[in-house]
Every structure is written in C-alpha cells, then in structure tokens.
Amino acid sequence: MAYKLIAIDMDGTLFTDDKEITERSLKAMHDAEAAGAYVVLASGRMAANVKELAKSLGLNSPAICGGGSQVVDKDYNIIHTCYIKPEIAKQVMDTCKELGLYFQIFEDGNFIFEKHTPYSDIYHGISGLNPVEDPDIFKREVVNTPKILIIEEAERLQQVQEILKERFPMLNIGRSRPTFLELNNPEGNKGVALKVLAEKLGLSQDELIAIGDNQIDAPMIEYAGLGVAVGNALDEIKAISQYVSADNNHEGVTEVIEKFILGHEYNE
C-alpha cells in the first residue's frame, strides 16, 4: 500500500531546536506533494498561525490545527471545528484561577488572557496570533473556544496535568511542549482530526503516516497506518509508534518522507 498522506507535528518534530526547517526537509515535503501525497501540518498552533507558516513553506495541502480541534482545507477554510463545551470551559478557567495558572482561550485569530504576563509574550512570539488582554474574561457568559492552553514551568505543569485530568475526565489533556498543556474536547484531538481529513480525501488508514514527539501527537500516531516517533520524542510516544526516526535536529521528517513516500534509500 502506497502512503498518500503524512501528518507532521511541527514543534519538536519538523522544527529543529533552533526553530528552523532544513532545506532538505523542505525539499522532501515539496517532492512528496509533487509525487501526489498530502503533506499535512498537524500542530497545536491555531489555523491563523499555521496558514502563515504553510504559505511561507510553499505547501499546498490541508492542515490539522489547534491540537486537532480544527481541520482546514488547502486554502485554510475551516472544514471541521470541535469546541470545548462552554460550561466546561468556564469550569476549567475557574480552576486555573484557583491554582494561580496562566491560561489562554482562542477566538478567530486571537488568543485571549486575563492579564499580560511573560507567558503571553512567549506565546505571541511563537504563534504570531493577535494577543488580547481581557480583564473581564471571567465575566463572559459564554466561552466558545476550541482549546484552552496553560503555560507553566515544566515540573509544576506535570503536577497540574494530573489535577486537571482528575477534575476534567471529559477532556483530552496533554502536553505539546514541556511547558504547554493543551485541553480539548476529546473529539478535538489530532487522531480524530486525521480521521476526519482522511475520510474527506477518500483515504484509508493504511495510506496515512503520522509523525510526532509529544503527548498531543499520540492519537494521530495510533490512528495512522504508520505511526512514527522522532528520535527526541517522549518514551511513551516511541512505545506506541511502529517506527522511530532520527531526531528533529537530524531531519527525522526527511528520513520518513524519503523512505516511505518517495521510496529513496535515506542517507544522512
């Protein structure tokens, strides 16, 4: 069975630790599209940000955004969105306030937070989304957001994750970075998004590859016909993968595209 789609996590997978994409990786992605495969960016980043990155890379494929809460076509029209239930979103926000956590909600091309902090600056620098400070965020009667992002020091975030998983078993809760914790509707994960996209494209699971490094990548790695962990991935991600490539600093994505889509013998 020929692989016809590769879903690629971005941070920690496609990007090097210096936040760069190598020329060889970019060429491999272009060659894969030229060969008729879909090169799907599958990111925790929201659609507005992924769109700009995809344009700069010259890609012409659909994408999975917001940790799986958004699926877009090649022109970045949203074809699937999965929101957190508004009443649950408000409960999560109240819990964050109780625990003294910085959090963000998302609306269109904006990320919204109660008070400006260094964390909001960090996210703005990474995402390029429009930051909106809303001191009245807790007074909102209805909160419609595809995800909630908490940013915290890595050690505390692991503790917070366990607390939130206990309080909100109805949500999908996982780290996209050591300091980023993403909360989504369980139907808003990368695995469900990959399934939705594959069905729209008329592809079977056997024709899909998914590659990633962190917890929010697990659902798509498990769903794809070939699940891949980059060499720097968490051990728990490697354990559910069928193939482990080179790490993000040594073109793990390139290795997978060349070997499994282009049919080349990969040489470092």
Residue-range domain boundaries for the chain: 5-81+188-261, 86-184
Residue 127's pLDDT is what? 83
Residue 246's pLDDT is what? 97
Residue 1's pLDDT is what? 54
Predicted TM-score (pTM) above 0.85: no
For residues 211 and 238, the answer to whether their CB atoms sit within 8 Å is no
- Distance, in Å, from the CA atom of 189 to the CA atom of 68, rounded to the nearest integer, reads 4
* CATH architecture type of domain 86-184: 2-Layer Sandwich (3.30)
By C-alpha distance, which of 170, 252, 159, 188 is closest to 44?
A: 188
Buried b (16+ CB within 10 A) or exposed e, 93-128: bebbeeeebbbbbbeeeebbbbeeeebbeebeeebb
By C-alpha distance, which of 220, 174, 176, 222 is closest to 194?
A: 220
Residue 62's pLDDT is what? 98
- Find the DSSP H helices in 58-201: 86-99, 118-127, 154-167, 190-201
Residue 27 parent element (H or E):
helix 23-34
By C-alpha distance, which of 198, 190, 183 is closest to 240?
A: 190
Q: What is the pLDDT along the chain (268 residues), one digit of tens a residue?
A: 599 999 999 999 999 999 999 999 999 999 999 999 999 999 988 888 899 899 999 999 999 999 999 999 999 999 999 999 999 999 999 999 999 999 999 987 799 999 999 999 999 988 878 899 999 999 999 999 999 999 999 999 999 999 999 999 999 899 988 999 999 998 889 999 999 999 999 999 999 999 999 999 999 999 999 999 999 999 999 999 999 999 999 999 999 999 999 987 656 6
* CATH architecture type of domain 5-81+188-261: 3-Layer(aba) Sandwich (3.40)
What residues contact residue 104 under an 8 Å CB cut-off, 6+ apart?
111, 112, 113, 120, 123, 148, 149, 151
